[in-house]
Structure 1
């Protein structure tokens, strides 16, 4: 089991502090791995192989000139969800790196945004190094505000000599 998935399961299942506080602690720790993620203050909701979900709180620090959540903050949320999914899913003998992201913005982000990343079982274990991760951001009312694909390059880890 990956470090991210192990930490998630530990933090979200802490009986003394409760899963809500445990998830907040995990979210803070995850944001330290790639400090740019801290700019959106992600709140992870769920992480499991082939799926990750987090919330970007709508606050002034992520607003654009319209007072909605900025497009790049949305992309940052999708990338954080994808990174958590990748770490929770990838086999121990492989590594990943993003190759690109294609997204569309079908509606304004006028509330907190729930970002999800998904893959299909088996995508990580085949011979094809190209792994597309489906990503989506949704407003509180269910309206999709951003959706697309983050393309990963997944290759075997170099063998240590």
Structure 2
């Protein structure tokens, strides 16, 4: 079991456990703290987190900035990769392609997903599907983050 999965399993049993996990996760990659992510689902092949709409992440329109959304998608993808990847492999992101599909006028749930068979193939190029949605289901961002998955040396 990965360190991220163990930390989630341990903290999620505590009062405010998902918030505790989110703070600890952001310590591992400090830039993620800028969006104050709140992880809500962590399981192999699926991670969800909330990027709260607050002034610090606003753009000039008063909506959640596109790069804050990308940061949320990357945090979700990173947690997904850590809890999903087989122990004999390693990963590194190699690119992100996103489309901004609507204004992010509220809190945004960032979702990263893969299919189990993607992790067992020999192709090192692994696309992770990502999207961000408002509470009413409006999709505000969607795309793919490509990982390079290779055997551990």
TM-score normalized with structure 1 length:
0.94
Deviates more, 1:119-128 or 1:148-157: 119-128
Cα offset, 1:141, TM superposition:
1.5
Match of 2:13 in 1: 13
Secondary structure at the aligned position of 1:123 is classed as helix
Pairing partner for 1:132 from 109, 127, 131: 127
CA RMSD, Structure 1 to Structure 2 (Å): 0.6
Which stretches of structure 1, 4 residues or longer, exceed 2 Å deviation after superposition? none
* Residues 1:103 and 2:98 aligned together: yes
Cα offset, 1:115, TM superposition:
0.3
Bigger Cα Rg? 1
Pairing partner for 1:60 from 42, 55, 62: 55
Pairing partner for 2:41 from 24, 28, 46: 46
Match of 1:92 in 2: 87
Cα offset, 1:140, TM superposition:
1.5
Cα offset, 1:125, TM superposition:
1.7
Match of 2:3 in 1: 3
Cα offset, 1:10, TM superposition:
1.0
Aligned length: 153
Whole-Å Cα distance in 1 between the matches of residues 74 and 107 of structure 2?
17
Match of 1:22 in 2: 17
Counterparts of 1:106-121 in structure 2, within 5 Å, are 106-121=101-116
Secondary structure at the aligned position of 2:34 is classed as helix
Q: Any stretches of 5+ residues in structure 1 without a counterpart?
A: none
Q: Any stretches of 5+ residues in structure 2 without a counterpart?
A: none
Whole-Å Cα distance in 2 between the matches of residues 119 and 41 of structure 1?
24
Pairing partner for 1:70 from 52, 55, 65: 65
Secondary structure at the aligned position of 1:88 is classed as helix
